[in-house]
Chains A and B, each alone.
Chain A
Amino acid sequence: MSPARSILDKRPPTIEAVAAWLLGILWILPLAYAVWTAFHAPEYSTRFVPSAPLSLDNFRRAWEAAPFARYFLNSFMLVSGVLAGQLVLCTLAAYAFATHEFRGRDALFALVLVQLMIMPDVLLVENYATLARLGILDSITAIGLPYVASAFGIFLLRQAFKSVPRELDEAARVEGAGPLTVLWRVYVPLARPVYLAYGLVSVSYHWNNFLWPLVVTNSVTSRPVTVGLQVFSSGDQGVDWSVITAATLMTSGPLLVAFLLFQRQFVQSFMRAGIR
C-alpha cells in the first residue's frame, strides 16, 4: 500500500491495530470481571471455568439486604427534578443572553461562566451551611438545588440560540408573537439536538454524583443510589464481594443499559456537548 493511499483510506498499520485491540481488551477487562463475579456464585468469583452456572442470587441478596428500591426512586426523582429545573432556568437565561441587548449583559455572562471552573462540588462546606440555614438538609431538594442553575447549560443553549437565523425570529414577531412565544415556537424546537445532548450529560452527571449527596443526606428517604451503595458496601456486617459487585452493577445498570442500546446517540451527544 502506498503511503498516499494509507492517509486517504485512513486504515492504520497492523501494529497499531494490535495495540488498539490490546488497549480495548484492557479497558473492558475490569468490567467484564465485575460482570462475571456478579452473575456467578461466590466460589467462582476468581475461578474462570466456562461451565460455572449463571446465577442471579447475588442480585437478589443485594436487593434484599438494603432498601435499593427506595434509593432508585430517590435517584430518579433527583435526576428528573434537576433536569426539569435546569431546562427551564437555562432556557430562559440563554434566550436573554443570546437575543437581548441589555446593560450589564457581558459582565453578567462572565459571572455565569465562573461556575464552569468552580463547580458547587468544591464549595461543599459553605453550601452545606447555606442549606442548613434554609432548613432543608437531608432532602432530595438539598442535593439538587445547587446544580439547578447550570452555567454549562446556559452556555450550550446560548450558542444554539445564537445560530438560529434572525429572519425566523422576525417573521414570528411580524405575525404578532410575543417574546416567550417566539422562544417556545422558534428557538426551542431548533435547539432540540442540543437539549438531548445536555440532558444526557446532566442525567449521567447527577445519577453518578457522590460526594455532595454523601455530605447532605443521612437517611434512607433522601439517599441516591451512589450513597446507598457506599453505605451498603462499607457496612460491617461482612457482605461478600459477589453481592457488592452485583449491587455495584445494579446501581450503574440503568445508564449502562441505555448507553449500550443507544451508544451512537450517546457518543454523538457527548461530542455535541463537548464542542464549545
Chain B
Amino acid sequence: MNRRTVHAWLLVLPAVALLALFTHYPMVATIWDSFHATPRAGHPGAWVGLENYQVMAGDEVFWRSLRNNMIYALATVPVSIALALAMALWVASAMRGRTWLRVAFFTPTILPMIAVANIWLFFFTPQYGLLDKAMSLVGSGERNWLGSPQTALACVCVVAIWKEAGFFMIFYLAALQSISPTLAEAAAIEGASRGYYLRRVVLPLLMPTTLFVAVNALINAFRLVDHIVVMTHGGPDNATSLLLFHIYQVGFSFWDTGYAAALTVVLLLVLGAAAIGQFVFLDRKVHYR
C-alpha cells in the first residue's frame, strides 16, 4: 500500500466505521437474530431455525400490516407524484401568485410529521373537528373518521399525501429548470399546442425524475410511521398498522426482539427490491439525463 492509499483510508475511516456500526452491522445482525429466540435475562437467544418465520406466517397482524402498507403505498405514491407534477408545472409557469402557491405547497414539508398528525387529528375529530362541522353543513351525520376501520386508512393516506406532495414538487422543479428552452421554441414554431408540448416533450424528459421520486416515495411509505403513532396507534382493529409500526410494537412494547428481527428482514427485502428496481430502471433510462 502506498502513502496515498493510506491517506485515503484514513480520510474515509471515521465515516465508514460509523456506517458499518449503524447500517451494515445491524443489517447482518437482523438476519442472524431472526433465526434466534429473543434473549431473556442475560442469556443469549437459542438457535430456533425458521421458528420466527413460522410465527410470522400465522401472525394476522403482520399480514394485515403488510396489506395495509401495500394499499398505503399504492394510494399515496401515485397521487403524490401526480399532484407534485401539477404543482411544479404551475409554480414554474408565469402564473399570477406563483410565489404564494410555492409557499402553500411546500410548507407542509417543513413541519414535523408529528405536528402534521396533531393538526389533522383535530381536523378529523368527531363532532368538534372541522371535517365533521363541514359535513354537517351538507346534512351528513357525525362520523368517527379515524375510529372506523372503513375510513381510518384513507385518512392516514390523505395526511401523508398532504405532507409529501410539496416535497416531490421540488424534484420536478429542479428537472423542469434543466429542460432547454429551445425545445419550447421549436415546439412553438411547429405550432404545437401547450397540451401536446407537455405530453410529448416535457413528460418524457421528466421520466427519470418520476422514477426517482417514485422509488423515494415508496421508501418513505415503508419508513415513516410517525403519524400512525400519533393518530391511530395502528387501530382501530389494526386497520392502520403499517409494517414498521408493527415492528416498533413487537420490538418495544412486547420486547420480542427475535421476532422483530424476522419482521425487519421482510422490511429490508422490500427496500432492497425498491433499490434494485431503481438501479435497473434508471440504468435503462440513463440516456435521458
Contacts and interface: CB of A to CB of B under 8 A. Distances in A.
Interface stretch (A66-74, A162-170, A267-275): A267-275
Interface stretch (B53-61, B70-78, B142-150, B270-278): B270-278
Interface string A245-272: 1001101100110011001001100111
A259 B107 contact: yes
A267 B167 CA distance: 10
B264 A122 contact: yes
Given A100-B11, A102-B9, A122-B223, A24 B112 contact: no
**Contact size range, B:** 35 or more
Interface string B245-257: 0011001100001
B180 to A, nearest CB: 13
A211 B225 contact: yes
A257 B105 CA distance: 16
A267 B225 CA distance: 25
Q: How large is the interface on A (under 10, 10 to 19, 20 to 34, 35 or more residues)?
A: 35 or more
Contacts, number: 288
A112 interface: yes
Interface in B9-28: 9, 11-12, 14-19, 21-27
Interface in A208-241: 208-211, 214-215, 226, 229-230, 233-234, 241
Given A23-B83, A252-B115, A151 B95 contact: no
Contacts of A174: none
B7 A271 contact: no
Contacts of B86: 19-20, 23
Interface in B99-117: 100-115
A210 B245 CA distance: 13
Contacts of B257: 125, 129
Interface string B112-143: 11110011101101001110010000000000
